[in-house]
Amino acid sequence: MTTGIELRKLRKLYEGHGQGAWAVDGVDMTIGAGKFITLLGPSGCGKTTTLRMIAGLEVPTSGQILRDGLDITDQPVTDRDMRMVFQDFALFPNMTVEQNVTFGLRVRRMRGRYSEAEIKKRVFQFLDLVHLADHAHKKPHQLSGGQKQRVSLARALVTDPQVVLFDEPLGSLDANLRKIMQIELIRIHRELGKTFIYVTHDQDEAMAMSNAIAVMRGGKVMQFGSPRDIYDRPANRYVASFIGHAHIVEAKVAGRDGQGLVVSLGNGEKVRLENENSAATGESVGLMLRAEDLAFGEAGPGMVSGNVADSLYRGEYIEYVVELNGGAGVVHVHARTDLPAIDQGAAVAVRVNPHKAHVLAH
């Protein structure tokens, strides 16, 4: 038996959505109990539909959903012991913060489970958790966006669900507030130990918060793994270019030795890799080169040569756009801002971090 949520070949076709256009197209995933899992992908890739099927708000066209080994595919929403937090908060405007959170408890048929005094105690326990106890008497219109989101979170958590589902909950908040709320959500997840299933199209958010990320595209999961796996060892070109600032240069495997692979770029220059990469000699591959894994250095063997086509001052670093010699491709290099600026057109030599560059199948 697996504890947690298991999705088996989950598919969804909406009525009238067009021939063969699956909103969710065969999703297999195991979400361990107590984990923080994120569905990440562009708009329309099937994140919300997947989440709503887990919640029981949408009926799968085929496939199964299991919880702790039991098939819950046909279980009604109210029996699933899951709560959802939405981007638009969905608060009652005429109720106070306290009443909004209390409503969550009363509506969940908690008959006889709590006395009035216990309900109040429990509501304040969760208002404390989201740092809103001092605002209990306010109405939603008297709160900031971040505070409203905390109320909707407290309202979901107060019923003690096993699983909390989040659909782009921070989407309407500004960048600073989002960062603060990300840290809050991580803390709350750690303190409560519930399963969090989170939907976002923001890769930084997914990377920072999750135990594992499912990168989705066109209703399918392109890769399901830890943030580090997804970032350092993307399974395919789509994941490589969706996460972080990756540039993919076409290459051929020239050989292999004890330390790893030697790959040859289109212009004949060779790069050594010393991490886990599986590819056969002679195979055409894509070499994923992230800006932070590249640095300028002295020209010489093992260096990749090119010319600076552009530079962008980013504040934290200068981003150089480098066209590799012989039309081998374009890479971006992040350089410290206290180093001398490099002029447009200047010839440069780029060192590739042999532990980070990653080979992608063609």
Ligand X SMILES: Nc1ncnc2c1ncn2[C@@H]1O[C@H](COP(=O)(O)OP(=O)(O)O)[C@@H](O)[C@H]1O
> Can residue 55 be called a binding residue for ligand X (CB under 6 A)?
no
Closest to ligand X by CB, 14 vs 92, is 14
Closest approach of Mg ion to the CB of residue 133, in Å: 32
Closest approach of Mg ion to the CB of residue 42, in Å: 10
The interface partner of residue 45, options being ligand X, Mg ion, none and the CB cut-off 5 to 8 Å by kind, is ligand X
The interface partner of residue 49, options being ligand X, Mg ion, none and the CB cut-off 5 to 8 Å by kind, is ligand X
Closest approach of ligand X to the CB of residue 53, in Å: 9
The interface partner of residue 23, options being Mg ion, ligand X, none and the CB cut-off 5 to 8 Å by kind, is ligand X
Q: What is the CA radius of gyration of the chain?
A: 25
Closest to ligand X by CB, 198 vs 320, is 198
> Can residue 48 be called a binding residue for ligand X (CB under 6 A)?
yes
Closest approach of Mg ion to the CB of residue 47, in Å: 5
Stretch of 46-54, 218-226, 227-235, 270-278 contacting Mg ion, by CB under 5 A: 46-54
CA atoms within 13 A on the CB side of 59: 5
Closest CA to 277 of 357, 186, 201: 357
Closest CA to 342 of 317, 310, 314, 315: 310
> Can residue 49 be called a binding residue for Mg ion (CB under 5 A)?
no
Closest approach of Mg ion to the CB of residue 50, in Å: 9
The residues in 3-22 that bind ligand X, with binding defined as CB under 6 A, are 14, 17
Please give the full DSSP string across 202-221, using - where no structure is assigned.
-HHHHHHH-SEEEEEETTEE
Closest CA to 278 of 295, 302, 260: 260
Binding mask 23-42 for ligand X (x = CB under 6 A): x-----------------x-
**Cβ neighbourhood burial of 210 (10 Å; 0-12, 13-18, 19+):** buried
List of residues 6+ apart from 341 with CB closer than 8 A: 311, 318
Residue type, 346: A
Say how far apart CA 306 and CA 323 lie, in whole Å. 5
> Can residue 48 be called a binding residue for Mg ion (CB under 5 A)?
yes
> Can residue 210 be called a binding residue for Mg ion (CB under 5 A)?
no
Site size for Mg ion (CB under 5 A): 1
Q: Mapping DSSP to helix (H, G, I), strand (E, B) and coil, where does residue 124 land?
A: helix
- Judge whether 335 and 320 are in contact, CB under 8 Å: yes
Closest CA to 325 of 339, 309, 340, 341: 309
The residues in 303-342 that bind Mg ion, with binding defined as CB under 5 A, are none
Closest to ligand X by CB, 87 vs 307, is 87
Closest to ligand X by CB, 17 vs 113, is 17
Give the residues across from 24 on adjacent strands: 12
Closest to ligand X by CB, 25 vs 98, is 25
**What would the two tokens of residue 203 be?**
């890769």
Return the number of other C-beta atoms located less than 10 Å from residue 256's C-beta. 15
Say how far apart CA 362 and CA 83 lie, in whole Å. 42
Closest CA to 316 of 344, 335, 339: 335
Closest approach of ligand X to the CB of residue 31, in Å: 17
The interface partner of residue 44, options being Mg ion, ligand X, none and the CB cut-off 5 to 8 Å by kind, is ligand X
Applying CB under 6 A, among 47, 80, 150, 189 the residue interacting with ligand X is: 47
Applying CB under 6 A, among 45, 214, 221, 248 the residue interacting with ligand X is: 45
CA atoms within 13 A on the CB side of 330: 8
Binding mask 287-316 for ligand X (x = CB under 6 A): ------------------------------
Query: Which residues make up the interface to ligand X (CB under 6 A)?
Result: 14, 17, 23, 41, 43-49
Residues near Mg ion (CB under 5 A) are 48
